[in-house]
């Protein structure tokens, strides 16, 4: 190709680039006016509240929302347990809880001591792999895993429990656990201390568990409930609304009665038990949904366990343990007339939707923050141009001559810079809870499978009447037309199409 021809080709490519960019700029005002409401309830599966007769709830992070002070408390107590009881170095006291370091849904390689984000297709999002508090270079990650794909046999099992190698952290309570793991790893590496990663994982898990099992966290929250619990008025309003409309309600939680009672007295009032037809504490989920062997046991208001056989689940009584099969037999509450809300996609929702046909609602507090970010002008502008540039790259890659490839490589570099920037907007280390650069995360995949609807908090129900039907939007498959009438009808749809981090 002559010099003149190369210049003409280069000039033509840049003119197409500039024209595309201008067209994108023209779209920005239209897109910017279509924001997503953070209080929206989103549907993965069509569901009508008109069909729901019974509402069930988890307690922690469903009825009761906690401030960040609680995660700091859990981190500090578990850290001190490692030092005092497991003989970990005193130097760990230099580490404080970092509320913005990790996100939910990450995977932890127990044997390699690596924390990372994995997408729905089992690929590691390069740039999100951390050893301690430091990122691992992409080349090192690729060498360790012989690429960026994580085979199924070393992933967490179907319900997110630790398998041979990987543990997925799905619980909001796991945020301080991930942070503590990262801090201890960081300390050992900084001080060149040889250690066994498997032992570290087990010790941290045990220390975090002790904060709950020994009742340390429960006593701390009960002693200063205003410091740790928030969102009380909204939860109260939801429960009153359901009660007023004649809906039956039940509570199934792993927390002990005293803790729940203290929290519900604060959130709802001393008459909170009048709102619930059945209250079950220390249920031991997810075992509650699978293990048929544990019978219900009645608990008095003073915590005394009674020994009588349970023939009915009575309103006003408190029950401990039990199992779902006995619950179904005693209540007759079966199938799609039941809607159960919880924050843990595996422990709260998976078995209910897969085995029992209950409708499920996931409470995802992180939604509110992420949607607010998606609504910013910076994010809308960047994502609109990122998608347009990606389409341009796909179209122009057929030009293989050196001059064209030089231009296209500049576009690829620009695209990569934008992808990194949009990731950092959500979380500098791990990006969005819901997406890797373009694919849904492993967390999102499970969310879409196990939750019929999802929302930031129960308060979102206050925006809908109890006859409302939730319709999932028709997202085009890859072989279908990208333009459907509903795709451009509301800002919600445009907003989701822009969410690529």
Catalytic residues: 58, 60
Residue with tokens 């910013």: 376
66 close to 228: Cβ distance less than 8 angstroms: yes
10 Å Cβ neighbour count for 262? Answer: 16
Q: In this structure, what token pair is assigned to residue 113? A: 């001591």
313 close to 296: Cβ distance less than 8 angstroms: yes
119 known ligand binder: no
CA angle 215, 61, 288 (to 5 degrees): 70
Q: In this structure, what token pair is assigned to residue 120? A: 């729905």
Please choose, from the candidates 363, 342, 345, the residue with its C-alpha nearest in 3D space to the C-alpha of residue 354: 345
Cα–Cα distance, 234 to 427 (Å, whole number): 28
Strand ranges in 377-441 using DSSP code E only, listed in sequence order: none
Helix (H) or strand (E) holding 114: strand 114-116
Distances in Å between the Cα of 307 and the Cα atoms of 224, 252, 295, 301 are: 34, 21, 11, 15
Cα–Cα distance, 147 to 164 (Å, whole number): 19
Cα–Cα distance, 219 to 209 (Å, whole number): 15
DSSP summary character for residue 435: B
3-state class (DSSP) for residue 56:
strand
**By CB neighbour count within 10 A (0-12 exposed, 13-18 middle, 19+ buried), where does 329 fall?**
exposed
Buried residues in 169-198 as b, exposed as e (16+ CB within 10 A): bbbbbbbbbbbbbbbbbbbbeeeeeeeebe
84 known ligand binder: no
Cα–Cα distance, 284 to 170 (Å, whole number): 17
Annotated binding residues for Mg(2+): 58, 343
Annotated binding site: 58, 60, 343
Binding-site residues for GMP, in ranges, read 60
């Amino acid at each position: 190709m002559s010099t003149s021809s190369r210049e003409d080709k280069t000039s033509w490519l840049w003119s197409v680039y500039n024209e595309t960019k201008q067209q994108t700029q023209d779209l920005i005002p239209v897109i910017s006016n279509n924001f997503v409401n953070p209080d929206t309830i989103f549907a993965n599966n069509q569901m009508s509240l008109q069909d729901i007769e019974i509402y069930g709830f988890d307690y922690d992070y469903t009825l009761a929302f906690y401030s960040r002070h609680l995660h700091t408390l859990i981190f500090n107590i578990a850290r001190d347990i490692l030092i005092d009881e497991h003989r970990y170095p005193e130097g760990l006291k230099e580490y404080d809880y970092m509320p913005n370091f990790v996100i939910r849904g990450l995977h932890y390689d127990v044997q390699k001591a690596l924390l990372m984000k994995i997408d729905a297709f089992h690929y590691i999002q390069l740039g999100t792999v951390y050893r301690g508090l430091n990122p691992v270079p992409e080349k090192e990650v690729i060498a360790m895993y012989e690429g960026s794909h994580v085979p199924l046999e070393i992933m967490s099992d179907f319900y997110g429990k630790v398998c041979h190698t990987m543990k997925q952290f799905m619980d909001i309570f796991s945020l301080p656990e991930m942070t503590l793991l990262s801090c201890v790893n960081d300390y050992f590496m900084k001080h060149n201390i040889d250690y066994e990663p498997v032992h570290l994982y087990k010790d941290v898990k045990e220390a975090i568990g002790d904060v709950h099992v020994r009742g340390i966290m429960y006593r701390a929250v009960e002693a200063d409930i205003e410091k740790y619990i928030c969102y009380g008025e909204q939860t109260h309003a939801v429960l009153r609304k359901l009660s007023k409309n004649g809906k039956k309600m039940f509570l199934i939680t792993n927390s002990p009665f005293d803790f729940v009672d203290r929290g519900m007295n604060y959130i709802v009032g001393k008459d909170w038990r009048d709102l619930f037809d059945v209250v079950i504490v220390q249920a031991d989920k997810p075992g509650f949904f699978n293990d048929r062997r544990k019978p219900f046991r009645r608990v008095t208001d003073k915590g005394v366990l009674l020994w009588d056989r349970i023939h009915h689940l009575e309103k006003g009584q408190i029950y401990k343990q039990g199992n779902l099969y006995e619950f179904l037999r005693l209540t007759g509450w079966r199938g799609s007339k039941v809607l159960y809300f919880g924050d843990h996609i595996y422990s709260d929702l998976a078995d209910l939707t897969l085995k029992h046909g209950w409708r499920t609602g996931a409470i995802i507090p992180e939604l509110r923050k992420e949607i607010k970010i998606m609504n910013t002008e910076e994010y809308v502008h960047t994502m609109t141009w990122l998608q347009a540039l990606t389409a341009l790259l796909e179209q122009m890659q057929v030009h293989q001559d050196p001059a064209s490839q030089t231009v296209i490589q500049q576009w690829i570099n620009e695209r990569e810079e934008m992808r990194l920037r949009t990731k950092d907007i959500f979380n500098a280390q791990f990006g969005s809870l819901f997406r890797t650069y373009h694919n849904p995360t492993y967390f999102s995949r499970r969310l879409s499978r196990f939750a019929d609807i999802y929302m930031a908090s129960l308060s979102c129900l206050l925006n809908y009447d109890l006859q409302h039907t939730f319709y999932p939007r028709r997202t085009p498959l890859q072989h279908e037309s990208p333009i459907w009438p509903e795709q451009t009808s509301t800002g919600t749809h445009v907003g989701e199409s822009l969410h690529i981090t």
